Chains A and B, each alone.
Chain A
Amino acid sequence: MTKKINKLQDQKKAGLLPKSRTGINGLDEITEGGLPAGRPTLICGSAGCGKTLMSIEFIVRGALIYNEPGVFMAFEEKADELAVNVASLGFDLNQLIDDKLIRIDHVHIERSEIEETGEYDLEGLFIRLGYAIDSIGAKRVVLDTIENLFAGLDNQTVLRSEIRRLFQWLKEKGVTAIITGERGDNSLTRQGLEEYVSDCVILLENRISNQISTRLLRIVKYRGSVHGTNEYPFLIDEDGISVLPVTSLQLDSAVSTESISSGIASLDTMLGGAGFYKGSSILISGTAGTGKTSIASSFANANCLDGKKCIYFAFEESPHQIIRNMRSIGIDLNNHIKSGLLEFHASRPTLHGLEMHLVAIHKNIKRFKPDIVVLDPVTNLITVGSVSEVKSMLIRLVDYLQNEGITVMFTALSLNNTFNEQTDEGISSLVDAWLLIRDIESNGERNRGLYVMKSRGMGHSNQIREFIIADEGLELVDVYLGPDGVLVGSAREAHILREQTGQALHGQAVSRKDREISRKRKLLEAKIAGLQTEFESVEEELNKVYLEEELKHKIQEDNRREMIEKRKSIKAKK
């Protein structure tokens, strides 16, 4: 508490306008810190746009979160009616009243009971409000709505000057005040007065287009402070008001180099081995029946198996339908739902406006804190908005998810008409990875070809793969690129078969030739052996002659020597 006061004083010292946080989801971001502290703020809008709810939430959240008691001065509803109305948001108003954190004062103005004569002023109201503020030490005040004074009293001049005085008085009191006002014809309020004396004006609207309503909030003025100037959609649900400061996002989100699997091993390879980057956005587009939902489910399944959390927003099929269908390709999503890792949110796009879808998606993401978000299919959202609206919604969603580091996968149906191709491009420029599944029609059959159109920051394959949905799951197969062009499906199978046959035939031919060669060799070898034996016998013959001759020569020599010897001995005898 003292810290807060110090902070306020710091802000005052710095010359900045001190602000009082509303505690309403998103409103504090748009107003950059809340409503001007100690000054009156006007919330205006036509009937049923959430003025009273926003102001009571301001009071209740102030009391609960910021410990600032508040006074709610109701001109329309009684205290117990209010208590019932906000009970649906989980606020126990009566308890807060007992705890002296909130005081509700119902000002009942019944025209038929009142007669006006002569001069008067609204000092009674001031005293009453002052007493209520002092009794609980209120820092916040809501007046809902002072227009009832104009309905109940005749003297407009007095009222106008008194309301001026009331705003001044509230400032002097130093309370942060909200005054609600009905929308007038040509001005923000019926009296055309409150917007000039308020320091901050917030306009609420409930716009219907194509029979679908969207609640919008805009800050018309905010003295002494910068603020978002756009129209921001907001949602009223069981948690109160959520405003989306979606268009104020900047391109400064941190990025991750971590990657997560696509759920199909061969696709991961195509993407450079590891899959998608964490926190990136992935678009899968393709014509009807090309298996977009199957890829998305397999992606969710693979990451749930890794223990990551996943939200699946289905705009076309019911969760049961998806679970049943995915079982046929061996993906059991029901397990993940049971273990709390997977959550399905199925709604028809026509349920509410585009912005409402965005707010609802945001809310669910904020609550569940998933690692992965799947939107299937985004093109269905076109039924509730134009192409540019869908694009702007998705940009904001992607921005938000990137900031949170959540990976998102969109599927988009593309038809063969220009309208939807535009959508494809509209979305494709903002995603990080784009997979396109295209029907390849040939030989009287339809096959799926998967292209990685882009994948930022990754060396990805430029090849077309054939995408096969089998009982065991999804698979990518290299297509056959031959002289006849790209072959897929049974043509590819047939070609492979033909190639195998050819190879077998070829093999056989080769072996026959081999055998002939070996036979020839054998023949030759036999011939060589014959010639060799012939040669040996000739050689032997020749050798024999040679030896005989030598022997003959030797014998002759011996005989001659013998003769000589004999002759010598005869001589000696002589």
Chain B
Amino acid sequence: MGTTEQTWELRLYIAGKTPKSVSALSNLKKYCEEHLHGKYKIEVIDLLEKPQLAEGDQIFAVPTLVRKVPVPIRKIIGDLSNEEKVLVGLNIISVKSSVDVK
């Protein structure tokens, strides 16, 4: 699919600096450094400041992580505490594991 060549565009929607959003962001950074080193961009959107952006990405829960690129769009909600689920959700683990196995 060539997804690994692309820069991953990730967007994290939060609502204020709640413990959940803080842990989500730190978790996300950790995973990205680990699995997508240098090929990712994280944009953090605080809905308290920009509520108008919630509708565009169909956000209803926070924190929500949206994978804009590569398509298709995928969403992960929650504080991203479960690494495996995040990686599966973002479709990162399959890439990594396939490399590992081969």
Contacts and interface: CB of A to CB of B under 8 A. Distances in A.
A153 B79 contact: no
B64 A124 contact: yes
B32 interface: no
28 contacts: A113-B72, A114-B75, A115-B74, A116-B77, A117-B76, A117-B77, A117-B78, A117-B79, A117-B80, A117-B82, A118-B20, A118-B23, A118-B24, A118-B78, A118-B81, A118-B82, A119-B79, A120-B77, A121-B20, A123-B15, A123-B61, A125-B61, A127-B15, A127-B47, A130-B51, A131-B52, A132-B55, A149-B60
B89 to A, nearest CB: 3
A199 interface: no
Interface string A103-135: 001011100011111111111110110111000
Contact of A127 (B54, B74, B75, B76): B54
Nearest to B77: A120
Contacts of A113: 72-75
Chain B interface residue bracket vs A: 20 to 34
Given A115-B86, A128-B54, 12 more contacts: A109-B58, A113-B73, A114-B77, A115-B74, A118-B24, A118-B81, A118-B82, A120-B78, A122-B60, A123-B62, A124-B60, A132-B55
Ranked nearest first, the 4 interchain pairs of A and B with the lowest CB-CB distance are A115-B89, A118-B81, A131-B51, A118-B79
A434 B52 CA distance: 69
A149 B20 CA distance: 20
A347 B93 CA distance: 67
Interface of A (DSSP majority class): mixed
Nearest to A114: B75
A150 to B, nearest CB: 13
Chain A interface residue bracket vs B: 20 to 34
B51 A120 contact: no
Interface in B32-55: 47-48, 51-52, 54-55
Interface of A: 105, 107-109, 113-125, 127-128, 130-132, 149, 153
A117 B51 contact: no
B85 A115 contact: yes
Nearest to B90: A115
A160 B51 CA distance: 24
A329 B15 CA distance: 81
B18 to A, nearest CB: 8
B27 to A, nearest CB: 8
Nearest to B75: A114
B14 to A, nearest CB: 9
B95 interface: no
With most chain A CB atoms within 10 A of its CB, the pick from B15, B48, B78, B89 is B78
A125 B23 CA distance: 20
Contacts of A109: 58, 60
A109 B61 CA distance: 11
With most chain A CB atoms within 10 A of its CB, the pick from B58, B73, B80 is B58
With most chain A CB atoms within 10 A of its CB, the pick from B47, B77, B78 is B77
B8 interface: no
A109 B75 CA distance: 10
A291 B42 CA distance: 86
B54 A119 contact: no
Nearest to A115: B89
Contact of A124 (B13, B24, B76, B89): B13
Given A115-B76, A117-B89, A124 B15 contact: yes
B59 interface: yes
A128 to B, nearest CB: 4
A119 B81 CA distance: 8
A293 B62 CA distance: 70
Contacts of B60: 107, 109, 122, 124-125, 128, 149
A567 to B, nearest CB: 185
